[in-house]
Amino acid sequence: MRPVIIAANWKMHTTPADAGELATTLAARTAIEGVERVICPPFVCLAAVRDALAATPAGAGVGVGAQNVHHELSGAYTGEIGAPMLVGLATWVIVGHSERRRDAGETDELIGRKLGRALEAGLRPILCVGEQLAEREAGRAEAVVASQLRGSLAGFGGEPGALAEAGLVIAYEPVWAIGTGRTARGVDAAAMAEAIRSATGELGQGFAALADDLPVLYGGSVTAASAGEFLAEPAIDGALVGGASLKVEEMAGIVARAGLTAAGRRAAGVA
Ligand code: PEP
| 136-183 confidence digits (pLDDT tens) | 999 999 999 999 999 999 878 889 999 999 999 999 999 999 999 999
pLDDT at res. 156: 83
Verify whether residue 173 is a known catalytic residue.
Answer: yes
> For residue 220, what is the domain's CATH number?
3.20.20.70
239 Cβ closer than 6 Å to some ligand 1 atom: no
Residue 96 has pLDDT above 90, yes or no: yes
Ligand 1 atom closest to Cα of residue 180: 10
Q: What is the number of domains present in the chain?
A: 1
- Closest C-alpha residue for ligand 1 atom 1: 242
Query: When comparing pLDDT for 226 and 270, which is higher?
Result: 226
Rounded average pLDDT over 8-30:
98
Cα torsion for 178, 58, 41, 174, to the nearest 10°?
-20
Task: Report yes or no: 129 and 145 within 8 Å, Cβ to Cβ.
Answer: yes
Rounded average pLDDT over 91-119:
97
> Where in the sequence is the domain holding 109, given as residue range(s)?
4-268
Burial class (CB in 10 A: 0-12, 13-18, 19+), 143: middle
User: Which of 95, 176, 178, 230 has most ligand 1 atoms within 8 Å of CB, for mutation?
Assistant: 178
Choice among 36, 70, 71, 97 that is catalytic: 97
Rounded average pLDDT over 29-42:
98
Q: Confidence band (pLDDT; 50, 70, 90) for 244?
A: very high
Q: Confidence band (pLDDT; 50, 70, 90) for 270?
A: low
pLDDT at res. 191: 98
- Please choose, from the candidates 58, 39, 50, the residue with its C-alpha nearest in 3D space to the C-alpha of residue 16: 50
